């Protein structure tokens, strides 16, 4: 480990020595951390070349002020309230040129090398957005496969746009942890971003149409605030069977939230990111990443939902391909069936001067 900087501060407590006890709850595992000193910022960073362990400020404060009631008893039943983040690949300079207008955060599984390649070779090109500053990163969690991990490290050497979270295994069931990871990383390394755009690695973003959409906010100096932007679903209800099954005892209510957006692509205004991070300890864990972040968590953070469905083709299929090509409003397509679709789309769109 490299340098260690312990920084804590509080307007309430001034320069008085403080003891901070907080409880990390991971499936009823409790641990206590003690730290003290002073400063304006309020987090602890243990930084080394490739690994960053950060304890997030506001949450640490929230929890320590209410330490008499362990989070595991008050409102939590999962790792989502763990204060520690551990980015084994952090790409900390992604947003070093400020301001960043959009950060496109692409959920990807460790072994999806071909999909990431297709995305890099097609739409994920910052140059297409100039003069706007847009960045693309791939979000991966931990893999136990040593060969895959080696290839990921080589990929990072070549492109430098991977963010790997070391605190959980990469799995479909763990996507909510990935969403939380996205919020925590952005809150640390990309604080001033105007819009955070979460997509999946089987989604396709029409770069120039998206750039045009962004440019409007820049031209009118009216970037969205306090907002989650996506295809807005009203009163989404739990499925009790099938792929998105959520058993009654995990979510007895008839709906997840008054409004939520599907996960193939949604945007969050930059100012909303810290609000969402602060809301994490206040809500119940839900493994469905999109319903959790854009529904439960956004509701707790009092965000407004802006409907973006005119720009979003939910499912990219044979019979909707031509729609995506011809309808110039559409800048996001979800659920490409094969990563060749990205190349085909790219080829189709370029000659038609849609770019």
Ligand X SMILES: *[C@@H]1O[C@H](CO)[C@@H](O)[C@H](O)[C@H]1NC(C)=O
Binding site for ligand X (CB under 6 A): 51, 53, 75, 86, 88, 142, 166, 168-169, 171, 173-174, 282, 284
CA distances from 181 to 16, 129, 219, 222, 224 (A): 32, 26, 32, 28, 22
In the complex, the smallest distance separating the C-beta of residue 168 from ligand X, rounded to whole angstroms, is 4
The C-alpha angle with vertex 87 and arms to 7 and 126, in degrees rounded to 5, equals 110
26, two tokens = 């991971």
- Check: CB of residue 109 under 8 Å from CB of residue 171: no
In the complex, the smallest distance separating the C-beta of residue 174 from ligand X, rounded to whole angstroms, is 4
In the complex, the smallest distance separating the C-beta of residue 241 from ligand X, rounded to whole angstroms, is 19
Q: Give whichever of 66 and 322 is closer to ligand X, judged by the CB atom.
A: 66
In the complex, the smallest distance separating the C-beta of residue 87 from ligand X, rounded to whole angstroms, is 8
The three-state secondary structure class of 91 is coil
Q: Give whichever of 168 and 189 is closer to ligand X, judged by the CB atom.
A: 168
Bridge partners, 228 (sequence order):
268, 305
Q: Give whichever of 20 and 168 is closer to ligand X, judged by the CB atom.
A: 168
Q: Give whichever of 72 and 122 is closer to ligand X, judged by the CB atom.
A: 72
Q: Give whichever of 10 and 76 is closer to ligand X, judged by the CB atom.
A: 76
Q: Give whichever of 126 and 143 is closer to ligand X, judged by the CB atom.
A: 143
In the complex, the smallest distance separating the C-beta of residue 133 from ligand X, rounded to whole angstroms, is 30
The three-state secondary structure class of 296 is helix
Give the chain's end-to-end CA distance (angstroms, integer). Answer: 46
Closest CA to 151 of 140, 165, 167, 166: 140
Q: Give whichever of 29 and 340 is closer to ligand X, judged by the CB atom.
A: 29
- Give residues with Cβ within 8 angstroms of 271, minimum separation 6: 225, 226
Eight-state DSSP code of residue 300: H
Q: What gap in Å lies between CA 228 and CA 216, rounded to an integer?
A: 18
Q: What gap in Å lies between CA 56 and CA 84, rounded to an integer?
A: 7
Nearest-CB residue to ligand X?
A: 166
Radius of gyration (Cα) for the chain, nearest Å? Answer: 20
In the complex, the smallest distance separating the C-beta of residue 147 from ligand X, rounded to whole angstroms, is 16
In the complex, the smallest distance separating the C-beta of residue 138 from ligand X, rounded to whole angstroms, is 17
In the complex, the smallest distance separating the C-beta of residue 323 from ligand X, rounded to whole angstroms, is 35
Q: Give whichever of 53 and 153 is closer to ligand X, judged by the CB atom.
A: 53
The C-alpha angle with vertex 260 and arms to 80 and 57, in degrees rounded to 5, equals 35
CA distances from 248 to 240, 255, 264, 286 (A): 7, 11, 25, 12
Closest CA to 120 of 68, 73, 71, 158: 158
């Amino acid at each position: 480990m490299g340098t260690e900087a312990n920084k804590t501060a509080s307007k309430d407590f001034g320069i008085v020595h403080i003891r901070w006890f907080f409880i990390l709850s991971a499936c009823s595992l409790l641990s206590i951390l003690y730290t003290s000193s002073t400063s304006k910022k309020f987090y602890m960073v243990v930084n080394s070349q490739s690994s960053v362990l950060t304890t997030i400020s506001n949450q640490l404060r929230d929890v320590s002020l209410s330490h008499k009631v362990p989070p595991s008893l008050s409102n939590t039943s999962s790792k989502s309230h763990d204060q520690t983040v551990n980015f084994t690949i952090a790409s900390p300079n992604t947003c070093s040129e400020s301001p960043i207008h959009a950060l496109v955060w692409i959920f990807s599984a460790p072994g999806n090398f071909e999909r990431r390649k297709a995305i890099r070779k097609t739409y994920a090109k910052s140059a297409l957005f100039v003069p706007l500053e847009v960045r693309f990163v791939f979000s991966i969690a931990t893999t136990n496969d040593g060969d895959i991990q080696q290839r990921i490290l080589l990929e990072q050497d070549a492109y430098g746009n991977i963010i790997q979270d070391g605190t959980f295994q990469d799995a479909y069931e763990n996507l909510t942890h990935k969403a939380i990871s996205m919020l925590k990383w952005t809150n640390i390394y990309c604080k001033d971003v105007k819009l955070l755009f979460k997509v999946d690695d089987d989604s396709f973003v029409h770069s120039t149409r998206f750039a045009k959409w962004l440019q409007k906010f820049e031209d009118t100096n009216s970037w969205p605030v306090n907002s989650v932007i996506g295809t807005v679903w009203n009163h989404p209800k739990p499925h009790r069977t099938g792929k998105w099954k959520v058993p009654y005892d995990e979510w007895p209510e008839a709906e997840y939230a008054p409004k939520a957006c599907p996960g193939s692509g949604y945007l969050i205004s930059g100012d909303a990111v810290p609000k969402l991070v602060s809301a994490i300890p206040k809500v119940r864990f839900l493994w469905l990443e999109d319903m959790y972040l854009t529904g439960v968590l956004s509701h707790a953070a009092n965000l407004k939902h802006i409907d973006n469905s005119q720009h979003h083709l939910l499912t990219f299929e044979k019979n909707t391909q031509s729609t995506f090509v011809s309808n110039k409003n559409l800048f996001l397509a979800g659920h490409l069936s094969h990563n060749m679709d990205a190349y085909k789309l790219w080829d189709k769109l370029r000659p038609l001067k849609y770019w």
